[in-house]
Structure 1
Amino acid sequence: MPKYLLFIIALFWTGVVAYFCLVESNKLPTIQIPNVDKCIHTFFHFVFTLVWFLFLRKQLQHNDVIKPLLYSFLLSLFFGIGIEIMQQLCTTTRLGDFLDFIANAIGAILALFTVVLCNRFNVLNSILKK
């Protein structure tokens, strides 16, 4: 997959996450499932970490997964912290929540395990071919 396409996908997903985390909560549909927002945070950061990993692996042209995986993991964590701070300081209908950050971290950790498994079975090479 071309590097520029991976970058566009990663930026798009970053925008999606930022939008849904910062939009006024009364403008979003409500679902009456306990802790559904934590599941959504986990999913958002799982995908966030994966798409940024794919782009960074291609950008850094690394055969080793460690550096791009570490960078994408840290980017996800810091982005999640930034979103929680912005929710607290810049929105009127949302509050920063430590448990949201934990859910973000769980999503990023699940992405780490997914990348390690995919790398073990050579799935990553087929995804990243030119």
Structure 2
Amino acid sequence: MRKLNLLLALVWSLMIGIACLITINTNVGGKIPFKDKFVHFVFYFLFTILWFRTLDSRFPNEPLVKKLRIVFLFGFCYGVGIEICQGLFTATRSADIFDVLANITGGLIAIVLLYLNRSLKLKD
């Protein structure tokens, strides 16, 4: 299970990187307001959950809050790094602070849900 968690987290991270650095037809899905921000939210919501599962399975005795902090900081740095790469290395994409905010929001919501899930399990 540990290897599967790691594989899923790595594949998801790679997919985020590719999706954020290639040119995508912006007409897909019609004119939905903030669809790009929603996509970033979902990317980093799942990113946080997958990397938490990986870290949690490899280090089950580490404190929950420590693992959640590590995963959040990793996701934040990864997202900022991708935005910087968009600005520096692509002609059709640009760095966007609102993408970073959507990433942070997705990661934070995942962190809160993971924390609540673990806290509720401990009470049972």
TM score, norm. by length of structure 1: 0.87
Aligned to 1:35: 34
Aligned to 1:91: 90
- Give the letter for the 1:45 counterpart: Y
Offset at residue 120 of structure 1 (A)? 1.7
Secondary structure in structure 1 of the residue aligned to 2:28? coil
Distance in 2, Cα, partners of 1:31 & 1:122: 41
In structure 2, the CA distance between the partners of 1:83 and 1:117, relative to structure 1 (3 Å rule), is same
User: What is the correspondence of 1:1-130 to structure 2 with a 5 Å cutoff?
Assistant: 2-26=1-25, 29-62=28-61, 64-122=63-121
Offset at residue 30 of structure 1 (A)? 4.9
Offset at residue 63 of structure 1 (A)? 5.4
1:83-114: per-residue Cα shift (whole Å, max 9, x none)?
10010011111000000000000001001111
Identity of counterpart residues, as a percentage?
A: 33
| Structure 2: unaligned runs, 5 residues or longer | none
Secondary structure in structure 2 of the residue aligned to 1:34? coil
Moved segments of 4+, more than 2 Å: 25-31, 61-64
Secondary structure in structure 1 of the residue aligned to 2:95? coil
Offset at residue 28 of structure 1 (A)? 7.6
Distance in 2, Cα, partners of 1:23 & 1:38: 17
